[in-house]
């Protein structure tokens, strides 16, 4: 557990360092552009200034407005993603970067069977995210390191095995005791704080005169290896119905532990969870 926390903290520190570096570089570029513009304005007066500004390229003439005029602008949006439906808000901090925060939520119920054990499952995704959007070319393309500051993504399931029905735990076959059938629940947990990284196109705070935008993104969340816990009660018997005993028996519990490891292995792909999203945003 300590090693997991250390790895998460190290990942967050690396992301924050990268975000700070991007911010400093972008801010320095914007400040330099503004300083160049001011020096050119001082060097020319009257008609000469007007002629000079007219001869400048459109990109050069709009640098001060994009740098000073857009800083502090705010945009809001809604989106649908593999993390669920959500909303977000962003604010520009330099001409090439934003800070962004939002939340996601998704719930889905489904019945399924695993190793002949019937489950009534519910997928619940709830998360709060914080990202740093860097626009290296000044357009819509962006790189966004970030973090799920609160990751409550989990899968829960209730199990109820009818008496006389056979099932397996960790590769061992048992029968659910007709006099005291096996039942219980299971849950899959991940890191509460999870680093993430996405690449996309679109800007909640466009530097042009547009107010609406359609951001799209793709990336991943590293939410750690799944940690499945099975809590069962009741009695198990041999496949023929004899030698019944409680699931709290040490031998049976060893099979429960083996079943947990097997499920963890089957869903190990969830530790690097893919993120794909599309949204609609409005800039104030």
pLDDT at 184 over 90: yes
Q: Which one, of 80, 76, 62, 84, lies nearest residue 207 by Cα?
A: 62
| Helix or strand holding residue 63 (H, E) | helix 63-64
pLDDT at 13: 42
Query: Using CB atoms within 10 A of its CB, is residue 25 exposed (0-12), middle (13-18) or buried (19+)?
Result: middle
For the segment 213-221, the average pLDDT, to the nearest whole number, is: 97
For a pLDDT cut of 90, what percent of the chain falls above it?
A: 69
pLDDT at 51 over 50: no
pLDDT at 209: 79
pLDDT at 207: 87
Higher pLDDT, 39 or 109: 109
Tell me the CA distances in angstroms from 235 to 111, 239, 242, 260, 279, one per residue in order.
23, 13, 11, 19, 51
pLDDT at 214: 96
- 3-state SS, residue 262: helix
pLDDT at 246: 96
pLDDT at 159 over 80: yes
pLDDT at 9 over 50: no
pLDDT at 261: 93
pLDDT at 24: 39
């Amino acid at each position: 557990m300590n090693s997991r926390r250390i790895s998460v903290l190290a990942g967050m520190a690396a992301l924050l360092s990268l975000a700070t570096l991007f911010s400093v570089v972008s801010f320095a570029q914007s400040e330099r552009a503004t300083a160049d513009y001011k020096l050119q304005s001082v060097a020319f007066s009257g008609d000469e200034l007007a002629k000079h500004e007219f001869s400048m390229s459109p990109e050069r003439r709009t640098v001060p407005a994009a740098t000073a005029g857009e800083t502090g602008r705010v945009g809001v949006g809604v989106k649908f993603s593999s993390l669920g439906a959500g909303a977000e808000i962003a604010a520009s901090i330099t001409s090439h970067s934003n800070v962004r925060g939002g939340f996601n939520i998704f719930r889905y119920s489904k019945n399924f069977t695993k190793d002949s054990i019937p489950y009534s499952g519910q997928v619940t995704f709830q998360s709060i995210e914080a990202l740093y959007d860097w626009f290296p070319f000044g357009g819509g393309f962006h790189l966004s390191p970030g973090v799920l500051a609160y990751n409550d993504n989990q899968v829960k399931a209730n199990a109820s095995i009818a008496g006389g029905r056979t099932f397996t735990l960790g590769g061992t076959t048992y029968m659910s005791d007709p006099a005291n059938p096996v039942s219980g629940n299971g849950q899959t947990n991940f890191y509460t704080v999870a680093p993430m990284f996405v690449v996309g196109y679109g800007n909640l705070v466009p530097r042009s005169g547009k107010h609406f935008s359609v951001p799209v993104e793709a990336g991943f969340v590293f939410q750690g290896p799944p940690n499945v816990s099975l809590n069962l009660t009741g009695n198990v018997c041999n496949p023929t119905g004899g030698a019944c005993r409680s699931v709290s028996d040490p031998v049976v519990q060893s099979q429960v532990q083996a079943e947990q490891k097997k499920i963890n292995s089957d869903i190990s792909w969830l530790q690097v969870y893919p993120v794909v999203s599309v949204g609609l945003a409005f800039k104030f």
